[in-house]
Amino acid sequence: MSAETFVKGKTIELRKKHIGPSCKIFFSHDPIKIVKAKGQYMYDEKGRRYLDCINNVAHVGHCHPDVVKAGAQQMELLNTNSRFLHDNLVLYAQRLQATLPDKLSVCYFVNSGSEANDLALRLAWQYSGHKDVITLENAYHGHVSSLIAISPYKFIQLSDTEQIQSVHVIAAFIAESLQSCGGQVIPPPGYFQQVAQHVRQAGGVFIADEVQVGFGRVGTHFWAFQLQGEDFVPDIVTMGKPIGNGHPMSCVVTTKEVAESFMASGIEYFNTFGGNPVSCAIGMAVLDVLEKEDLQGNALRVGRYLTGLLEEQKEKHPLVGDIRCQGLFAGVELVKDRLKLTPATAEAQEVIYRLKEQCILLSADGPHRNVLKLKPPMCFTKEDADLLVGKLDHILTELEEALGLKFHNALSVENESSKRKPTDENGRQHLGGLAHGGGSSQEDPQIAKRIRS
Amino acid sequence: MSAETFVKGKTIELRKKHIGPSCKIFFSHDPIKIVKAKGQYMYDEKGRRYLDCINNVAHVGHCHPDVVKAGAQQMELLNTNSRFLHDNLVLYAQRLQATLPDKLSVCYFVNSGSEANDLALRLAWQYSGHKDVITLENAYHGHVSSLIAISPYKFIQLSDTEQIQSVHVIAAFIAESLQSCGGQVIPPPGYFQQVAQHVRQAGGVFIADEVQVGFGRVGTHFWAFQLQGEDFVPDIVTMGKPIGNGHPMSCVVTTKEVAESFMASGIEYFNTFGGNPVSCAIGMAVLDVLEKEDLQGNALRVGRYLTGLLEEQKEKHPLVGDIRCQGLFAGVELVKDRLKLTPATAEAQEVIYRLKEQCILLSADGPHRNVLKLKPPMCFTKEDADLLVGKLDHILTELEEALGLKFHNALSVENESSKRKPTDENGRQHLGGLAHGGGSSQEDPQIAKRIRS
């Protein structure tokens, strides 16, 4: 294909030489070379089509022509910083504001979810006059240094949550409205209201991180924090990944009070690329497509359909410990034992590799990397869901046979998993053998040889 | 014009309502609405053409057709993250590497100069095992929280540089290869070598921040750190602003040793948008245009010509205290007294506002905001330089007449300013009247009424 400059082996060689080794690649033992994409499909250098179930950045579909056109037209006309007046900037801010509670009226445009969350912390520090932050176990909020410090997913598995609760003067509570990297965890309705009450009493602010889950993905609402009820309004909302369908941009929205307090610090906030006319044109095109193609409605309908299919899988397969779905944001937790909730980490990796061989792209996440993560582009269809779940069914059946896993072992604890707390504190990796005799997958040679980093 | 949705007043009103008040605008009392740009020119909603002398982001010229085309074509084809193999990523890394010393071979692609400098700190911390950082007085390295802490320009004016020198266990020394926001300060050749020796002896690394000054701007070299001599190689180089001609992208390049040490921390580095095929295509197009149009050569030739014109201004105008030029990176320091080097802050603002009225865009920077900053797109011509300096000459003449400033006051200390240390420690604002009787400009009603925030 003309889009390929090097043969794949050469691309791998050059990548090893010139790209930081900390930058991991999918399927590192046999990575995929993608040369084009459209809608929910990606194509490799040989023209093989993959169903993309993981790319929540290509929100309205890869290379959506309306978004591409908006970006290209504005790039031709003007791309400059926000120190000049431009209608795209204020139009887009107005459009975003219309999706949010009235109180959240002030925008800061930045370039990535990490920049957004870092700025959210600066706003909170200034407003509260304090520096301490409460974060959730297994949380991930970004890659800049201030965020690594509040991202146990990256930094450290906090063993003692009491330590955090003992902090009594705080600047902020930060949480994803639905926890993504932490394992697709959905907080119970009303939880954020209670947290916000405590945080505000202590002088802090509530930061809702919508970087992974915003922009209609949850189906019933445009923002995931709205699942908590109409009465819940965060003090700061951060946005990212899907906002520009792949274009590097993001946004922080806050209240007038917080914005004015930040202003009072006397330090100007300038972001070279943030809020440039091209980014704003692209952001507006994404909102237009979401509306025009009713993609939030699609997320609701296809999400419900997919949930139904996955629930059937849970009935059928002992490996499936829990299904956590909200629109087109779905997690399938694989366990080796439904009673002990032993994470089936190696099995999750196996599923992902086998699906890849069937041209379906998926990833595993959560503290034990045993939660299959589904966050496809929002144009995902019922047929795509059928295809995915059909293949998954087949793979799970084969795996369970190889492991000697039978359903009656788990039958008695049906629904047990749904009673767990979202912090998933039982999910420690049990390295010993399992009661039902299959042995841990790490010890199973058939699976072990397929496990890749 | 069709590019305008709102009348200017409405744009201002919406901006006040929806954009964070900490985000400042140029010429806040009468901001400019720019609707299109081409080459070194920007156009307002009435079609008025401005000569852009400040936009070092639109590096190869605003909306360069080759860059726009490369971006639009790749946006149509594929825009996804670097977890898949893609030739643009490795090709671009290879191209960038070719401009650098061999040792600097490993790239991390990110979205902004701030992300780049934050990652540089993380690399340094991991490699050195320490956290302390040496930064220069008046330095500015970015807007994320870790960088505010090392940016006295933003955070605090360090009054006692001895404090810093007393730190004996350090992770890194970070400096712009030419200090930009700090007042267009050019370090003497050999200075970085000596600093690097001390820093490395203490176990630290040398970070060269090329975010503002890289990519051929200095004319004689592609990178500003190369002005220090062929023998100088930083451990980490950070890039930004001009890299994508306005597209949000940036890069950190380091040695194999530093990259491997970062890898050994076990923490993956993932950046959602960093190194995507569109950014890389745009980055390559910028390098292509630089080569094809010999813009580094143009920076050298036009830079020298501009320097000559500015030196003549220094001969002619007592307000001009110092000229610091390197290619198309030029600083004109305005002083009210060449002996005392009293910063002419209000006068610099006046010059900038008057030039704006003449459709020439310029800014003032440095700790006292008295250094006129010239960093135009690299396609800036000798005719543009003539136009700018002609207008500047006229404005300075008028200003000096109004202030009663005469040249003989300063003649005796000609060249005195060139002997100063780059830290500019004499440049304190003198609020009292001047020896030559003009009074400080803050007290001059003619000028005071024109001074805007």
The more confidently predicted of residues B9 and B133 is B9
Q: How many CB pairs under 8 A join A and B?
A: 347
**Considering CB atoms only, which of B20, B143, B272 is closest to A113?**
B272
Distance, in Å, from the CA atom of B57 to the CA atom of A270, rounded to the nearest integer, reads: 14
Strands B205-209 and B172-176: parallel
**What pLDDT is recorded for position A427?**
30
Confidence category of residue A133, pLDDT binned at 50, 70, 90 = confident
Residue B109 β-bridge partners: B251
Confidence category of residue B423, pLDDT binned at 50, 70, 90 = very low
**What pLDDT is recorded for position A408?**
60
Q: Does residue B235 have a pLDDT over 90?
A: yes
* Gap from A32 CA to chain B (nearest CA, Å): 6
Count of Cβ atoms closer than 10 Å to residue B264 Cβ: 12
Domain boundary among B244, B259, B292: B292
| Chain A touched by B214 (CB under 8 Å) | no
Rounded to 10 deg, the angle between the A256-264 and A113-128 helix axes is 80
A121 and A212 inside one domain: yes
**What pLDDT is recorded for position B426?**
30
B86 and B55 inside one domain: no
pLDDT mean across residues, chain A: 84
B302 and B359 inside one domain: yes
Domain boundary among B292, B319, B344: B292
The more confidently predicted of residues A436 and B235 is B235
Query: What's the Cα-to-Cα distance from A200 to each of A75, A171, A172, A193, A351, rounded to whole Å?
Result: 43, 9, 9, 10, 44
**What pLDDT is recorded for position B154?**
64
Confidence category of residue B325, pLDDT binned at 50, 70, 90 = very high
Per-residue H/E/C for chain A: CCCCCCCHHHHHHHHHHHECCCCCCCCCCCCCEEEEEEECEEEECCCCEEEECCCCCCCCCECCHHHHHHHHHHHHHCCCCCCCECHHHHHHHHHHHCCCCCCEEEEEEECCHHHHHHHHHHHHHHHHCCCCEEECCCCCCCCCHHHHCCCCCCCCCCCCHHHHHCCCCCCEEEEECCECCCCCECCCCCHHHHHHHHHHHCCCEEEEECCCCCCCCCCCCCCHHHHHCCCCCCCEEEECHHHHCCCCCEEEEEEHHHHHHHHHCCCCCCCCCCCCHHHHHHHHHHHHHHHHCCHHHHHHHHHHHHHHHHHHHHHHCCCEEEEEEECCEEEEEEEEECCCCEECHHHHHHHHHHHHHCCEECEEECCCCCEEEECCCCCCCHHHHHHHHHHHHHHHHHHHHHHCCCCHHHHCCCCHHHHCCCCCCCCCCCCCCCCCCCCCHHHCHHHHCCCCC
**Is residue A453 domain-resident?**
no
Q: What pLDDT digit, counting tens, does each position of A32-57 carry?
A: 999 999 999 999 999 999 999 888 89
**Considering CB atoms only, which of B79, B155, B267 is closest to A22?**
B267
| Chain A touched by B156 (CB under 8 Å) | no
A76 and A55 inside one domain: no
**What pLDDT is recorded for position A183?**
73
Q: What is the mean pLDDT of residues B42-69?
A: 93
Distance, in Å, from the CA atom of A384 to the CA atom of A392, rounded to the nearest integer, reads: 12
**Is residue B34 domain-resident?**
yes
B276 and B325 inside one domain: no
Q: Does residue A158 have a pLDDT over 80?
A: no
The more confidently predicted of residues A228 and B437 is A228
**What pLDDT is recorded for position B185?**
79
**What pLDDT is recorded for position B408?**
60
Count of Cβ atoms closer than 10 Å to residue B408 Cβ: 8
B323 and B351 inside one domain: yes
Segments in B129-190 forming alpha helices (H): 145-148, 161-165
What are the φ and ψ backbone dihedral angles of A380, each rounded to 5 degrees?
A: -50, 135
Residues A18, B90: C-beta atoms closer than 8 Å = yes
Q: Does residue A203 have a pLDDT over 90?
A: no
**Is residue A2 domain-resident?**
no
Least confident of A132-136, A303-307, A415-419, B221-225: A415-419
**What pLDDT is recorded for position A437?**
30
**Is residue B1 domain-resident?**
no
**What pLDDT is recorded for position A416?**
42
B307 and B226 inside one domain: no
**Is residue B171 domain-resident?**
yes
| Chain B touched by A95 (CB under 8 Å) | no
**Considering CB atoms only, which of A22, A241, A248 is closest to B268?**
A22
Which residue on chain A is closest to B262 by alpha carbon? A22
Confidence category of residue A130, pLDDT binned at 50, 70, 90 = confident
* Gap from A413 CA to chain B (nearest CA, Å): 36
> How many structural domains compose chain B?
2
| Report for A406-410, B54-58, B67-71: range of highest mean pLDDT | B67-71
Strands A172-176 and A205-209: parallel
Distance, in Å, from the CA atom of A123 to the CA atom of A331, rounded to the nearest integer, reads: 32
CB B361 within 8 A of CB B50: yes
| Chain A touched by B238 (CB under 8 Å) | no
A398: left (phi over 0), alpha (psi -120 to 50) or beta: alpha
Q: Which chain A residues have a beta carbon less than 8 Å from that of B97? A: 18
* A contact residues 260-279, partner B, Cβ 8 Å cutoff: 260, 262-263, 265, 267-273, 275-276, 278-279
Domain boundary among B292, B322, B352: B292
Q: Which of B184, B181, B134 is nearest to B422 (CA)?
A: B184
Which residue on chain B is closest to A95 by alpha carbon? B18
**What pLDDT is recorded for position A155?**
55
**Is residue A180 domain-resident?**
yes
Q: What is the mean pLDDT of residues A269-288?
A: 92
Q: What pLDDT digit, counting tens, does each position of A51-84 carry?
A: 998 888 999 999 999 999 999 999 999 999 999 9
Confidence category of residue A425, pLDDT binned at 50, 70, 90 = very low
Least confident of B111-120, B123-132, B362-371, B401-410: B401-410
CB A304 within 8 A of CB A96: no
Distance, in Å, from the CA atom of B132 to the CA atom of B204, rounded to the nearest integer, reads: 9
The more confidently predicted of residues A166 and B258 is B258
Domain that holds residue B238: 65-292
Q: What pLDDT digit, counting tens, does each position of A85-97 carry?
A: 999 999 999 999 9
| Chain B touched by A94 (CB under 8 Å) | yes
Q: Does residue B301 have a pLDDT over 70?
A: yes
Q: Does residue B444 have a pLDDT over 70?
A: no
Most A CBs within 10 A among B69, B84, B174, hence the mutation to make, goes to B84
| Chain A touched by B47 (CB under 8 Å) | no
Question: Coil, strand or helix: which one is B318?
Answer: coil
B16 and B70 inside one domain: no
Q: What is the CATH number of the domain that holds A22?
A: 3.90.1150.10
Q: What pLDDT digit, counting tens, does each position of B92-133 carry?
A: 999 999 999 999 999 999 999 899 999 999 998 888 888 888
